[in-house]
Every structure is written in C-alpha cells, then in structure tokens.
Structure 1
Amino acid sequence: MKNIRNIISLLIITGVAFLSCDDSTIELDPIGDTEAGFFQTEEQMTQAVLGTYQKLTFFYTFRGGPNNFLQAIWQLPGDDLTTEANHPHEFFSGLNGNNGQLNAFYRFSYQLIARANTLMQKIEENGSIAYENQPELMDYHRGEVLFLRAWMYFKLWNTYGTAPLVRERIVALENAFPPNSQGTELLDQAILDLEEAAQILPEAWGDANKGRVTRNSALGLRGKALVFRGTVTGSSADFTSAIQDFDAISGVSLTSNYGDNFNTAMENNEESLFEFQANNQAGINNVFLDNDSFAVVGDIGAYYGHFVRRPTWVGNTVYSATSTLMDEFEPGDPRINYIFDPEPGLVTNVVKYIKDGNWTNNPGGANGSSRNNPRILRYADILLLKAEATVRSGGNLSEAVALLNQIRERARMSAENEMSAVPSDYTLTGETESTVLEWIFKERRMELACEEGHRWYDLRRRHLAGEIDLKTWDFDSKRIDLEFEDFHVNFPLPEIEVIENENMNQNAGY
C-alpha cells in the first residue's frame, strides 16, 4: 500500500474528446482505458480497489491553505485541541452550509462511496470472468470496499447526523437526488456492510499488501459502530453484539510501547486495525487537487503542519492541546512525553505524530506533509470500547476495569528508562456503573488524545444520549466567541446540495 503512486479513477475512466467526427477519426480506438474495456481482469479489479483506498488521501492531506485541510472537522470541535484561528468548528456559532471544509468532506465522502459502489457493481457483472486465476480475490475485494463505504458512513453520521444513503451506483438521473437518512440509518448501513465484510475479508495480507483491511478491521469498526448506536438508542443488544465482535478479533495485541503507535518505523503493527497509508509526495504532486480526476496526483502525504505551523504562512492556524487535556494526566504518566512537548507555554505543544525521528520528508516537507500514517483504528480503542460496552450492558464491572488496567499497564511500561509507577491500576471499592463509565471516558481521552476526533465523537454521542450537556461544557477554547447549541451536534449539510436536491433538507438550526 505504501508504494502505490498512480491509481485509476473509478468515476472518470478515461473517455476521449474527438476533434471532429469525419471518416478519418470516427473509427479510432479510445486513448487509454474505457469502462467497457476495464474491470475484466484481477489486475484491473485490484487497481479499482486501490483506487477506492486512494480517496482517503483527500481527507488527510494539506489542501493548499489553512482553512482547507479537513482534519479540523473532527479534531477541533472537542475539548482536546484549540486554536486562535477562524475555524467555525472551534467556536460553532460560525458554522453554515457554505463552509468549505464541510462541503469538501461531503463531496469526497460520496466520491469514495461511488467508487465502492461502482466496483461492487462490476464484481457482480464481471466477477465470473475477472477472477479466474484467484477466485478468492472476488470476496476480498468486495469486503474491502464494503469496509471503506462503512467507514465513510460512520464518519458521515458523526459529522452531519443525516446524509443520503447511496447503496448502489447511480447511473440514472431519477436516482441522483436521494433524501436525507433518518435517525441512525447511516450507522445501521455501516453495521450491515461490516457484518458482511467480516465474513469475506482475509485474516491477513502478505507483506506486499500490508495495510489493507482484514477481518479484524471489519470486526473492530462494526463493534465501534454498535457501541455508538447503542449509546444514542439505549439498546443493550447493540452492546452485547459489540462485545461479540470484539471477542472475535484475533492475532492482535497492544504494542509493548505506547509510542510505537505513532512512529513511522512501526506502521501497521500488531495494534493496528486500520491506517491511512501516507507516503512521500509524488513528483507530480498537486496539493490543490480536489476533484476526482487524476491527470495529476493529489498529495499522498499526511498533513501534520497544523501542529507545527507549516507552512509558516498559515500564521495562527495552529492546533494546541488544551490545558484540561494536559491536566487529565498524572505527573509521570509516560504517555505525556509521547503526546506533548515538555517545554511549558508553547503554542505548538502536540508532538504525537512528529516526535523525534517520526517526521519524514525533512522534516515534514515544506507543507508539513509526512509519510507517517495516521492510525485510524487501533486495538487500544477496541479494548476501551469493550469496557464501555460491558458496563452499559450490565456486565461485570471487574471485567471492565481489567480492560482499563491493560491500557494503564502498557502506559506504565512505556517509560523511556525503567517502568513507571503511574498510572496505577484502578481498583473497585464499591464504585457504581456511572463511576466506572467516567473512568473509561477519562482513559479514552488520555489514551486516544489528539487522534482521529475520538474525543469529539465521544462527547457528541454522550450529548445525544443526554449523559452530558455540551451547552454548559468547558471546551477550554482560545476563542471567546464559542457558543454551543444543541443543534451543533449535527454540522450543516452543503447548502448547494440542499438547494439542488428537492428531496434533501438542511439540518435544523442552519
């Protein structure tokens, strides 16, 4: 996966523009591939699968300006990170349907979904001839794009709450205007997709394909989606099913050192379930590319410049760890040195993916892009979710606390010299379910700090469930104009989509 450079586009498989239609040109063969001639071999089907993975780059790369990169959507709304910059995801009251980052996120999400749906259609149509040599690849490929589509629906639900469900390739105009989903339908579809994916994905890939999703990936993400759905619906059955999925995961474990999860030399390790496969910038790299044509290659690095002010002209667009996040940790917790810069008072105080030698591209390239993979789903997240599901389903509190203590033990073992004394294990002395649940969310905040929007997604679902009230929450923001209202749990849909699609409604409050 790390060596992929030029990937085909599934949405624009090259047509040909004819200069004229006289007898000398009308019989010419098209230049390059056309849809009619593609999707015929295992190699072409593999290219199409990798083309679906390739769309992930649009969510993680530098997009040419401080208000363009999409990480703001899931990193800034919570209370882990803050910025002085004019990001409405930080202070909420400035959000509207014309927000460029939200609109790009929506567009790229449905481009990825379209790629997945196209490939599933072609597998159905051509699978019997395309997979003659390796018939097992047909299931593997379907499982991969089902996983990626499900991940996209999971992100869409956590961003907008409601967005269209597109289960099949759109080839007719009458199907081009789907309505909003309702309730948890986006999560429902993700859970269904992942159930099938877990049945057909391989247990593992060879070294040449390391980083492609596996059965464990599908089980982990499905369990996570079930916990999220159960939180807002109160369904105990969802928590029970999530535990079953988590228990079915095999062959993975926590790394011996916490920092191994953010070191470029330790990518796709034993704790990893899903990573964006970042790479060095290509020679024909174009950071401004935001469409679905690949005449030039979009940026394939992971952007971390918002932690270090790269490029320098981004000014105050720096994401800093909040004091409330840093205060969660006990002094001496070894995770502190892997997450934060120890020098007090720094604005650029987050080093999780850029500590020491983790920077690549000297260091991070002019735009702050790196080939260090963002870890999207890792086993520590799964153990914490399992602990939560155990508590919420009325299970044994001692079992939940034991899972928490696995995370804390690994933290103690991650000290640079000898084993640390903190964080010490939790010990039950008559605590209630609600107390243990708060322990879990505190541990999730520390263990998963500044990664993948875990904190915002946790706060959002708990607010939807009525467990917390974000209107009175201390976001510890640098912005004095922060103003959270109930409707901000769902960000605005692109206004242009709402205007052009008569079947679609804007989220309440926008």
Structure 2
Amino acid sequence: MKRINLTHVKAVFAIAIMSLFVVSCDIEIEETDSIFPEETSGDFGGVAAVGASVQDLYNSVYGQLGDQANFFALNEVSTDETLVPTRGTDWGDNGIWRTLHAHTWSPTHQFVLNTWNNLNQNVFRATQVIDPASTIIGEGETRSLEELKAEARFLRAFSMYFVLDLWGVAPFRGVNDGADVNPQVFTAQEAYAFIAEDLNAAIAGLPSRGPSGDNNRASKATARFLLAKLFLNAERYGASPAYADVITLCNQIADDGYSLQSGYFDIFKEDVDTETIWYANTSVGNRIWNGMHYNIVAPDNTGGGWNGFTTLAEFYDSFGGAPDSNYVGDADDERRGWVPDAGNADETNLGIGYGFLVGQMYDVNGAPLKDRPGDPLVFTRDLPGLSGNNERTGIRIIKYHPVNGSFANHEIVFRYADVHLMKAEAMLRSGGNATAMVNELRTIRLAQPLGSVSEADLLAERGRELYYEFWRRNDMLRFGQYTRAWEFKDEASIGDETKRLYPIPINALLSNPNLVQNPGY
C-alpha cells in the first residue's frame, strides 16, 4: 500500500487550487495579500492585549519557519545545497520545486506569493503592537510594556529584513492608513535604515540573556545577531560596509556567554547549549522527514518519510572523505555525519544516520532496508535530473534526529557558530586574516585546519557549518555565487543577475500601484 503524507497532499491541493486562479482572466485580490490592515477605519485604538499579540506574532513567525515550502524553499531550494527532484509522479507539483532550483520561477510562483504575504503581514501586525495606542499589557503577563514592544520591534525587523533580502524593497503601511491608502514602498536603503533603527531600539529594551531554555524569545543577543547580519550584507542593500560594527556586535554576543560547542549534532537537541541564541517553537519534522524514504521509520513516526528533498553531489563533496559512502570513518569532518551500518544500527540511532545519508540504509536491527519495489535502499550520489528519478536517487540531509523526537518543537534560527563566522568574514573583508578563527571552528568540528582562508574558503565553511539553517541563499549572494552554474540549473539563468531578487507577486502589483516589478520579470 502506498503511504500518503498529508502535508504533501495539502501542498499539492493548494498548488492545484492556485493554478485555477492563474488561468482565470480575473485575478481576485483578497485580504490575505497582506497589504490590507486589520483595522480599516483610520482610527486605530491599539491591540486589545500586547502580551497576547506578541505571542500570536511569535506563533505566526515560528509556523512560517517550520514549513518545508515558502520561506525555507526560497532560501534553500533555490541554491546549490538543496533540491526536490520529481520521482515518477511524486513531488511533481506542477514544477513548483524544480523551478526554484533551476532559477526559472515566475511572478506567479505560489511560494513567492505566500512568503511575501506572510512576511508583510508579520510587519503590519508588529507595527500595531509597537504603536503608542497599544498600551494594555493583558492579564497574567509578567513582562513590561517596554520589553514586549522591543520583542515586537525585533520580530518586525526580522520579517522586514527578509522582505528586503528576497525582493530588494519593502512595502510599509501605517496602522491608521485605511484600505484606500496604498502602502508606501521603502527602497533598499530606506528599508536598511528602518531595520537598523528597529534593532537598535529593540536592543535597548530587550533583556540580556545567555544560553537558556527561554531563548525562544528575543534577547539583546538575538537583536545584535540580526543587526550584524544586516551590516554584513550592507553593500547588497546600497549601504556602506560596516565591518567594524559587525565585529563589535559579535563580541557583545560572546560577552553574553555564547560560545562554540563540541558535539555538532548534539546542538540540534532540545537541551540547552552554548550555541543556540534563538530557537523557534516549531516542529523539526520537516527537517527530518521530507528527505527520508517511506520505509525509514521511527517509534513516533511509523509511517516513514515522504522521500523528497536531497542535496547535490558537489555540495556533499565539499566536506571531503569517501565520495560514495558515509559510514563511520568515511568522513574527515564531523559535520558530514555518518550512516549506521549492520554493525552499529540500534535503538540509540534507530538505524538512521546523521548529516548526509548515502549508500545502503539499515533498520534499527541492522537489517538492510529495501525500497517499495523491493530493491536495496541505496541512496546514490547522482541524480538523472530534476525529473525521472526513482525512490533511491540523491543524498539525503538530516540534522535533527528522530531519536530526540521526530516532531520536537525546537528549531534553531540563530546560532553562535554563525556569529563566529560572521566575525571571521568581517575581519577578512576589512583586510584582516580569518584563518585562525576558521580553524578554531574546524578543530572543534574534528576537521583538519586550513593553511589559509580565502573568501571561497569562508563560503564553503559556512556551507559545511550552516546547511539547512535558512542562510545558503543569503551567503551565496554576498559572496557573488548565487548566479553561477550548478547541476540542473537552467542554462539561460546562469549569470542572470536579475535572479538575485525574486519577482514582486502579481497580486501585490495589482493591489499597490506604488510597487514596481523587479528587473527581468
């Protein structure tokens, strides 16, 4: 019997419904397009309870981060790290995944529209909380009004940052703008300044907090992390380099008690560690199961995976080690992980590996697994293309492990290793030497030190450390590698600088005349 993953079915259904609207002559503009305020009277009286509104905002952001489509897909599937090949009819979805990896998306791409709507809606809801009219904290809330509004400023900055990063502009609507008022549109430089102002205000109002189980909420370190990321990418947004500020912010985060931690895959447990600056209360199930085969199971997920996401052999090869297997001892970098074989597959790992899964897969008892047609379940490094795949093609990625809970509500968003590498990059770009800092990280990750570190080395190191953590597109753009060739990218899109930004969704253009489509679309 064919197992059916309900999340995948829902995605396919949503895409099918979308296609009906695309072929229609009339495009209906709905209030979900995020440019419509919830209060349209022009006389905003404040949110009913600031504490509850901030929690609702967190919940929305966390749900968006935990999704396998939309935000995650735009930032990861569009890179050399991740792809979702079609297997027979599985994961065809009218090409919605293939076009991301191939860079052949269009202004009607559903993930582009959904992400635009979600992020801009976050910005507007945060603006309502921040507004001076919002003064009622709400019953049972222990945080001050200042702290709650500082959290809202951080969440607004986070969402607007990615609007800027993905589209190069950022619409903004005031709480008293009625539905007949078109939102203003910040240029990249205006959005950059607005985000920096929000983050500086957030830093002033947020608590100092080091490693803690409470790091699902914003702290000074969280806001400083995002401000460092903004400054590190300053030139992309038309601003002047701010590398000295990046270094200062990274040092301040370390002063709060954050540091590199050994035991790479232990960091992705729910336990408190020295690296996790901000985590989302959202299921890690999509980070585990969207690449696992249907016959790979866990006690709390007996239905198995949904056999979609893979990585490219060239990305896997950036780690070094044996090219066709990843059993214990095959890798020269802890972060590449390992695959249990017949001798060490047991209840401590459920027969499921860590990192990159290639070669024969085994069950919890060490017996070789098979695919549904009955062939040995051997994940291959090579794929025939974005289409025409069987159940076994492609190396799979798994950072969060089901032995710690197949659907644990703890996904890392900001991590200290990123801070460490941001500081190293800022040093390198301002004329310093990043070799010692990169080798400090590599030594902790049980990888051989490098003799020197160039920009290319630093990008590769960020890939090895931060894969599947939302940052690959951002990194490739900053290092000028996002438009280069990689396997299965459409030839016509290679070197196409217009693909550095996504298209403004058609619905948004029709709704707001102040928006102008990005070049190339």
TM-score, scaled to structure 2: 0.70
Give the structure 2 partner of residue 53 of structure 1: 58
Give the structure 1 partner of residue 229 of structure 2: 224
Q: Give the SS at the match of 2:413.
A: strand
Distance 1:359 1:475, change over 3 A: farther
Distance 1:184 1:310 in 2: 47
Are 1:505 and 2:516 matched, yes or no? Answer: yes
Are 1:308 and 2:292 matched, yes or no? Answer: yes
Are 1:409 and 2:443 matched, yes or no? Answer: yes
Give the structure 2 partner of residue 172 of structure 1: 178
Are 1:119 and 2:120 matched, yes or no? Answer: no
Give the structure 2 partner of residue 456 of structure 1: 473
Give the structure 2 partner of residue 295 of structure 1: none
Q: Identify the structure with bigger relative contact order (alpha carbons < 8 Å, sequence gap 6+).
A: 1
**What residue identity is the alignment partner of 1:371?**
A
The Cα of 1:48 is off from its aligned counterpart by 1.3
Distance 1:502 1:326 in 2: 45
Give the structure 2 partner of residue 426 of structure 1: 450
Matches within 5 A, 1:175-190: 175=181, 177-190=182-195
Matches within 5 A, 1:50-199: 50-61=55-66, 69-85=70-86, 86=95, 87=97, 88-93=99-104, 95-121=105-131, 124-127=132-135, 130=137, 137-166=144-173, 168-175=174-181, 177-199=182-204
Which of 493, 498, 502 is the matching residue for 2:504? Answer: 493
**What residue identity is the alignment partner of 2:59?**
Q
Are 1:333 and 2:343 matched, yes or no? Answer: no
Which of 424, 434, 452 is the matching residue for 1:387? Answer: 424
Deviation digits for residues 236-278 of structure 1 (CA, Å, limit 9, x no counterpart): 4x11111111111121112221112223x33x53211222211
Distance 1:194 1:353 in 2: 30
**What residue identity is the alignment partner of 2:252?**
A
Are 1:442 and 2:448 matched, yes or no? Answer: no
Distance 1:220 1:113 in 2: 19
Distance 1:36 1:459 in 2: 44
Contact kept, 8 Å, 1:302 with 1:373, in 2: the verdict is no
Distance 1:181 1:462, change over 3 A: farther
**What residue identity is the alignment partner of 1:79?**
D
Distance 2:37 2:56 in 1: 10
Are 1:357 and 2:403 matched, yes or no? Answer: yes
The Cα of 1:155 is off from its aligned counterpart by 1.2
Are 1:373 and 2:418 matched, yes or no? Answer: no
Distance 2:47 2:81 in 1: 46
Distance 1:252 1:61 in 2: 24
Contact kept, 8 Å, 2:206 with 2:220, in 1: the verdict is yes
Distance 2:118 2:287 in 1: 17
Distance 2:128 2:210 in 1: 24
Contact kept, 8 Å, 1:144 with 1:213, in 2: the verdict is yes
Q: Give the SS at the match of 2:172.
A: coil
Deviation digits for residues 106-125 of structure 1 (CA, Å, limit 9, x no counterpart): 1111111121111111xx23
The Cα of 1:187 is off from its aligned counterpart by 2.9
Which of 210, 214, 222 is the matching residue for 2:219? Answer: 214
Distance 1:503 1:314 in 2: 47
**What's the RMSD between the two structures over aligned residues?**
3.4
Distance 1:390 1:38, change over 3 A: closer
**Matched-pair identity in %:** 20
Give the structure 1 partner of residue 486 of structure 2: 475
Deviation digits for residues 69-113 of structure 1 (CA, Å, limit 9, x no counterpart): 5421111111111232422211122x2221111111111111111
Distance 1:62 1:132, change over 3 A: closer
Distance 2:214 2:59 in 1: 14
Distance 1:248 1:141, change over 3 A: same
Q: Give the SS at the match of 1:97.
A: coil
Give the structure 2 partner of residue 28 of structure 1: none
Aligned residues: 408
Q: Give the SS at the match of 1:447.
A: helix
The Cα of 1:411 is off from its aligned counterpart by 0.3
**What residue identity is the alignment partner of 1:329?**
F
Q: Give the SS at the match of 2:410.
A: coil
Q: Give the SS at the match of 1:113.
A: helix
The Cα of 1:51 is off from its aligned counterpart by 0.7
User: What 5-or-longer segments of structure 2 have no aligned partner?
Assistant: 1-35, 87-94, 297-302, 322-331, 338-353, 360-378, 381-391
The Cα of 1:342 is off from its aligned counterpart by 4.1
